Each structure stands twice: as structure tokens, then as C-alpha cells.
Structure 1
């Protein structure tokens, strides 16, 4: 199916992705991973919850870790431009017959929860508490030196339908993978903030969260993280990489937190600010699509993902598969 034309005048203005909450089964162990190993900064914490931000972020949090009996991914957060956009967003989702629940969120202004048509839990807000800048407090930099949250990638049972819905919200496609036999989308990368993606979709049993990505300064930071993880008890949490993606041109590493939530460490992609920029097409069987150097991804990368709370995944409509490492 053809990639939809960019929707330059959506019904409300999403600025960017913002944050995600993870339900974790051992808060202390998760703290050791995200704070002591990756280097995210604690902005607030108590016995049941930890709020984190990266070094360039002024908003209060980009990750929320909450103690739970079962691990899961909770709402994917997005910031809208204004309170008026927030009201327009609520009306949009109501008009599509999707649930809208106004909720209280610490450190955020008015916030509502909803779901996309497949059940992916979303929340929208216009204002979050601002914190003093720390990007020049170099004594705080440690781990992989994470600068900012970059994107989400979700398994979708129907990537064409996911792209069509998020196109209504103003997400523009930058790159996509097409199955030659059926002409259907196998994966797509869509953005709001002018990078390669804020929200990506991968064909698979879903909705499930495939990964959350953090931007870091250089590929050398990723090498440093690998050295650190391999000598501090985290070597088995290294899943894939390092390498360079064909799609996005980014240098990457995929790792798993103590509950199996996948994190991508990411740098060196490109800007896509122009609203009329033509998306880049990739064939599903192109060996350089996954990794520019030709190395295929492991099977776990195509099958493992975080369950969303309160959502039952569906099997994908498209049965095609890319090249998988033996």
C-alpha cells in the first residue's frame, strides 16, 4: 500500500514524544541499571517509584520506573503545543470512539490517557515541570552519557493501518520497509520533532513496545557502555550490536533492562525537518536494511517485546519475514 502523503495540518499539534512508564519487579535492580549503569539522572523517588531524565532534558522526566508484581510497559507520553491543543486532542480521540480519561500525573499539567485503534496506551499533556539545565554539569555525566529520549518503536499487527492513523495525528514517514510480494508495509519510521522518528512500527504480534531509544553523544560512548556492562554483571543484557543501521544511518546498541524492557542506545542519524521530504524506501530482503554492514538481527529482536498493561496483542496480518541471524 502507498505511504500516505504528509498531513501538514493535523487537528492538533504534537511537539514530540516525551516519556514512558515501566512497571518493574525489582526497583533497586532497575535503579542500578538505569542510573548507575546507563547514567540517567534521578529527579524524584520514593519507595515505589523513580523519575529519571537525561542530561539535555529540561522536563522533569522521560522514564518512570514503578514497582509492580509484573513487568509491563505503560503509557507512551507525548507533549502537545498548548492547552488548546490538548483539548482538541481529547476531542479527536473521542470522535474516533477511543477512550479519553483525564488523570492526575505528578509533575505534569492536565493529562489524559487514551489508546490508539490497536490498544497502544497513550497519554498527552501540554506542560511538565521544568528543571534547571544540567547539560554543562559534566561531573554528573556517567555511563553511556544519555542526552535525551529519542523514539519509541512498537510492534504492530498492521503497520499500514498504524501509519495511516498516526498520519492523521501529523506524524510524517521518513523511511519505510515494503514487502515486495504484497506491497504492504513491514515497518515504518515516523516523526514529529524533525529527526528520523518519534514513533516507529515493526510488523509483529502487537501492540507491544519493541524498544525505547536514547540519544548519546558519539559511538565511543556506546563502546564505553559495552566495556562497563561486560565487567559489572550486565554482559547477558547485551542483545544486539554495536552496529550501524541502514535505515536512519544511526549507530546503535540494543540492551535489555532487568525485566526485559529493550533499550536502544543511539546516535548519528539525520534531520528530516522539511515537511515535503520524500521518504526512503527499503526492500524487506535487503541485507543492509537492518545493518549497513550486512549483519542480520537475532531472532529475539523480531519476537521479544514488552507487553502493554491492559492490552491483548494480536497476530500480524503480514507473515513476511526479513533475514534473521542463524
Structure 2
């Protein structure tokens, strides 16, 4: 199925992805992982919640950890252009038959909570508390030196449907994988901010969150993180990589936090600002599609994902499979 033409004039204007809210079963263990090992900065915390940001970010947080009896994802959040865009988003989702609600979130202005075409919880806001810049406070840099949150990747039971839905609200496809037999999409990378992706979709049981990615300065930071994790009790949390993707051209490492939430550490993709930029097509059986070089992805990378709170995932109807490591 061909990808849709870019929608350059969507019903409301999303600027970029913003943050993710994780339910974690052991807040102390998660804090140690994200702060002491990865190097995210604490912006506020109490007995039940930790707010984190990366080094280049001025918004109050890019990740929220909240103590929970079971691990889950509460919502994926996006920033819109201004306050008026929130009202446009509310009207659009309501007209499409999606549940909509204005919710209160700490350190944010008005926030719209709704769901996508699979019931995945998404939130939109304009205003978040601004913090002083810390990107030149080099004494704070540690771990993998995360600069900013980069993208989400979600398991989708129907990637064509996901791409069609998000195309309506302005997400543009940069690269995609098509199954040559069925002519259906197996995966797609879509963006708002001018990188390869803010939001990607991978075929599989969903909706589930496949991973959250952080941009780092150089590949050497990723190598340093591997050394650190291997000598601080986290070697088994390294799931895949390091290596380089064919899709996106990014240097990558995939790791699992103490609850199994997958994090990608990521650098070296490319700019996609031009509105008429042609999407790049990949064949599902191309061995350099997912790994330009490096070991093939393990089976866990295709099967394991984080559940969204209160959402029951459904199996994909597309049985095609890429190359999987034994």
C-alpha cells in the first residue's frame, strides 16, 4: 500500500514529541538507572515521582517516573505550537469520536488527554515550566551524556492504519519498510521536528511502546556507556548493539531499564526539514535495513514491549518477518 502524501496543513500544529510517563515498580532502582547510569538530570522528586530532563532541554521534564504496582506507560506527550492549537486538537479528536479530556499535569499548562486510532494514550500541551540552561554546565555531564529526547517507537497491529491516522495530524514519513508479498507496511518512521522521526511504528502486537530514544553527542559516548553498564551490574540490560542502522543511518544501542522499558541511545541521523523530501523505501528482507553493520537484532527486540496502562494490545495480522538473530 503506498504511503500517503504529506499533509502539510494539518488541523492543528504539533511541534515535536515532548515526554513519556513510565510506571515503575521500584522508584529507587529506576532513579539509579536513569540518573546515575544514563545521566539524566533530576528536576523534581518526591516519594512517588521523579521528573527528569536531558542536558540541552529547557522544559521541566522529558521523562516522568512514577511508582506503580506494575510497570506500564501512562502516556506519550507532544508539544503544540500555541494555546489555540490545543482547542483545535480537542475539536478534531472529538469529531473523530475519540474520548477527550482536559487534565492537570504538574509543571504544565492546559493539557489535552486523548487516544489514537488504537486506543494508545496521547497528550498534548503548549506550556511547560522553563528551567535555566545547563548545556554548558559540563560538571553535570555523566553517564552517556544525554542531550535530548529524540523519538518514540511503538508496536502497531496495523502500520498502514497508524501511518494514515498520524498523517492526518501532520506526521510525515521519512523512511518505511514494505512487505513485497502483501504490499503492506511493516514499519514506518514519521516526524514533526525535522529529524528522521518523532514517532515510528513497528509491526507487532500493539499498541505497545517499543522504545524511547535519547540523542547523545557521539558514538564514543555509547561505547563509554557499554563499559559503564558492564562494570556496574547492568551488563545483562544491554539488549542490542552497538551498531548502525540502515534506516535513519543512526549509531545505536538498545538497553532495558530495571522494569524492562526499552531505551535507545542514538546519534548521527539526518535532517528532514524540506516538506517535499521523498521518503526512502526499504525491502523487509534487506539485511542492512535494520542493521547496516553489527549483530542482527535478537528475537526479544521484535517481541518485547511496554504496555500502556488500561490498554489491551491486539495481535498484528501481518505475518511477514525480517531477519532475526538465532
What's the TM-score, normalizing by structure 2?
0.99
Partner Cα separation in structure 1 for residue 295 and residue 55 of structure 2: 32
Name 1:246's counterpart in structure 2. 246
Q: Distance in 2 between matches of 1:161 and 1:190?
A: 13
User: What CA distance in whole angstroms lies between the structure 2 residues aligned with 1:180 and 1:74?
Assistant: 35
| Counterpart residue number, 1:52 | 52
Matches within 5 A, 1:219-230: 219-230=219-230
Report the alpha carbon displacement of residue 179 of structure 1 after superposing the two structures with TM.
Answer: 0.1
Residue 191 of structure 2 corresponds to 191
Q: d(CA) in 2 for partners of 1:175 and 1:233? A: 36
Map 1:206-221 onto structure 2 (within 5 A): 206-221=206-221
Runs of 4+ in 1 over 6 A off after TM superposition: none
1:105-254 equivalences under 5 Å are 105-254=105-254
2:316 is aligned to 316
| 8 Å contact kept, 1:288–1:294 | no
Deviations 1:177-205 (A, max 9, x none): 00010100000000000000000000000
8 Å contact from structure 2 (residues 242, 294) kept in 1: no
Map Cα deviations across residues 196-247 of structure 1 (whole Å, 9 max, x no partner).
0000000000000000000000000000000000000000100000000000
Q: Which residue of 1 aligns with 2:73?
A: 73
Tell me how far apart the structure 2 counterparts of residues 294 and 178 of structure 1 sit (CA, whole Å): 22
Aligned length: 326
SS at match of 1:290: coil
Deviates more, 1:288-297 or 1:82-91: 288-297
Counterpart residue number, 1:267 = 267
Check if 1:90 corresponds to 2:90: yes
Counterpart Cα distance in 1 of 2:303 and 2:239 = 13
- Aligned partner of residue 248 in structure 2, secondary structure: coil
Distance 1:84 1:317 in 2: 39
The CA RMSD measured in Å over matched residues stands at: 0.5
Q: CA deviation at 1:53?
A: 0.1
Q: What residue ranges of structure 2 are gaps of 5+ in the alignment?
A: none
The CA distance in 2 between the partners of 1:277 and 1:74, in whole Å, is: 33
Contact (CA 8 Å) 1:15, 1:81: kept in 2 or not?
yes
State the 1:117 CA deviation.
1.2
- Matched with 2:325 is 325
Distance in 1, Cα, partners of 2:293 & 2:117? 36
Distance 1:99 1:216 in 2: 36
Between 193-202 and 117-126, report the one with greater CA deviation. Answer: 117-126
Post-superposition shift, 1:295? 3.3
SS of residue in 2 equivalent to 1:33: helix
In the alignment, the residues of structure 1 paired with residue 221 and residue 117 of structure 2 have an alpha-carbon distance, to the nearest angstrom, of 38
Cα offsets for 1:130-176 (capped at 9, x unmatched) = 00000000000000000000000000000000000000010000000
Unmatched 5+ residue regions in structure 1? none
CA deviation after TM superposition for structure 1 residue 294, in Å: 6.0
Looking at structure 2, the residues matched to 295 and 135 of structure 1 have their Cα atoms a distance apart, in angstroms, of 34
Per-residue CA deviations over 1:80-125 (Å, capped at 9, x if unaligned) read 0011000000111000000101111000000011000101110000
Preserved CA contact (<8 Å) 2:244 2:294: no
Tell me, yes or no, if structure 1 residue 4 matches structure 2 residue 4.
yes
Other-structure match for 1:289:
289
Task: Check conservation: 2:190, 2:199, Cα contact below 8 A.
Answer: yes
